[in-house]
Amino acid sequence: MQAIRQCFYPGQLNARHHRAGTQVVAIDGVLRLTYRDPALDWLLTLTSPISIEIDEGGCHVLPYDTFVEIEAVGSAAVNGIVSVPGRRNAFIAAIGKGIAWVGSSVRADDQRSGERKTPG
């Protein structure tokens, strides 16, 4: 994991694409993260973005690969750390997501087949 210490200034957005598993830590102030679920990008303005405020000493882990805006809340600059996961963790996360998808698909098929067998 690569950790990058950054200073975030009020009124300025730090916007970039981050991978799933990226950790954002607020060291000495409050940071606001704004991002969207990438699966809903095609809906454009119909979905509202997710906005998270990280208090001093707090941490937030991104659940998926997405474009993130990070800004300082308040009137003072905020120091923070952005820890980006290595490629190996991203690969393992992709395998985990694939297994979860297969499991949910199998459960959905079982539920549908159970609905067809139920006498009406």
Do residues 57 and 75 both lie within one domain? yes
Which pLDDT value is given to residue 38?
83
77's CB contacts (< 8 A; 6+ apart) are 7, 8, 9, 10, 29
Within this chain, do residues 48 and 95 fall inside the same structural domain, yes or no?
no
92 lies in the same domain as 71? no
Mean pLDDT, range 27-49, rounded to an integer: 86
Q: How many domains does the chain have?
A: 2
Rounded Cα gap, residues 42 and 120, in angstroms: 39
Q: What share of the chain is helix, strand, coil (3-state, %, to 5)?
A: 35, 40, 30
Residue 114 has pLDDT above 80, yes or no: no
Do 96 and 67 share a domain, yes or no?
no
Residues 92 and 119 in one domain: yes
**Mean pLDDT of the region 8-13:** 92
Residue-wise pLDDT tens digits, 51-87: 999 999 999 999 989 999 999 999 999 999 999 887 6
Residue 107 belongs to domain spanning: 86-120
Instruction: With a cut of 80, say whether residue 106 has pLDDT above it.
Output: no
